[in-house]
Amino acid sequence: MVAYARDEKEGVYLMDEPEAALSPQRQLTLMLHIHSMALEGSQFIIATHSPILLGMPEARIPLGDAAVLMATSPKSNTGHIALDAALEDVRKGKGGDFPRHLQNVHADSFGMERGQNYKYPHDFPHHWVEQQYLPDELVGTHYYRYGNNKLEQAAKQYWQAIKKED
């Protein structure tokens, strides 16, 4: 997990499966904490499957592959910008209840169950269907903006093409 002394502003943290055994809410809290520490100058190396389980020297192969993949992958900060914008809305208290069709029907009281009318995207062409995902207060909010690079522009064209077919 995260070892953090409040008087230390910077550090390098190696985290192995920090999300393990955390509820989704606690995972988001951890993400916010990591984000604030990174803004203070800390750096993080986070692994979801420990190379220790594989053992050395064999673990050097996937670790080396991961390093090459990261070093040679197209770079963009659009995901980072989108996440920052979404986290800022959370900090401001924006949001509200998720649309009914995304809520867990089992959370209803016995005898008070209501239909969800969820549209399962994988039952539709291109695994996409138009439906509301954000709380009412955030409908129309767009956090992610495609970057001006080859990879993201290709994703944008694909997204526009599948949405026009429906």
- Residue 128: which CATH number? 1.10.3710.10
Return the CA Rg of the chain: 20
Euclidean distance between CA atoms 18 and 5, whole angstroms: 17
> Domain for residue 108, yes or no?
yes
Alpha helices (H) along 10-59: 24-39, 51-54
> Domain for residue 159, yes or no?
yes
> Domain for residue 29, yes or no?
yes
Q: How many structural domains is the chain composed of?
A: 2
Q: Give me the pLDDT at residue 53, please.
A: 58
Q: Give me the pLDDT at residue 17, please.
A: 72
> Domain for residue 111, yes or no?
yes
Measure the CA dihedral 136/142/144/148, to 10°.
Answer: 170
Residue ending a domain, among 21, 46, 73, is 73
The domain containing residue 119 runs over which residues? 87-166
Are residues 93 and 53 part of one domain?
no
Amino acid code (one letter) for 142? H
Residue 45: which of 77, 15, 4 has the closest Cα?
Answer: 15
Are residues 92 and 166 part of one domain?
yes
Q: Give me the pLDDT at residue 7, please.
A: 46
Residue ending a domain, among 48, 73, 98, is 73
Are residues 163 and 122 part of one domain?
yes
In the block, which residue shows the tokens 């993400």?
Answer: 31
Tens of pLDDT along the chain (166 residues)? Answer: 444 444 455 667 767 677 677 777 777 788 888 888 888 877 777 765 656 556 667 777 777 877 887 787 778 899 999 999 999 999 999 988 888 888 776 655 666 556 678 888 889 998 889 999 999 999 999 999 999 988 899 989 999 998 885 4
Are residues 103 and 41 part of one domain?
no
**Contact partners, residue 79, CB within 8 Å, separation at least 6:** 144
> Domain for residue 80, yes or no?
no
> Domain for residue 82, yes or no?
no
- Whether 97 contacts 149, CB under 8 Å: no
Task: Give the other-Cβ count within 10 Å of 7's Cβ.
Answer: 5
Q: Give me the pLDDT at residue 113, please.
A: 57
- Per-position b or e across 112-146, b if 16+ CB within 10 A of its CB: eeeeeeeeeeeeeeeeeeeeeebeeebeeeebeeb
Are residues 97 and 156 part of one domain?
yes
Are residues 46 and 13 part of one domain?
yes
**Contact partners, residue 151, CB within 8 Å, separation at least 6:** 74, 76
> Domain for residue 121, yes or no?
yes
> Residue 45 pairs with which residues in a beta bridge?
14
Q: Give me the pLDDT at residue 71, please.
A: 82
Whole-model pTM: value is 0.54
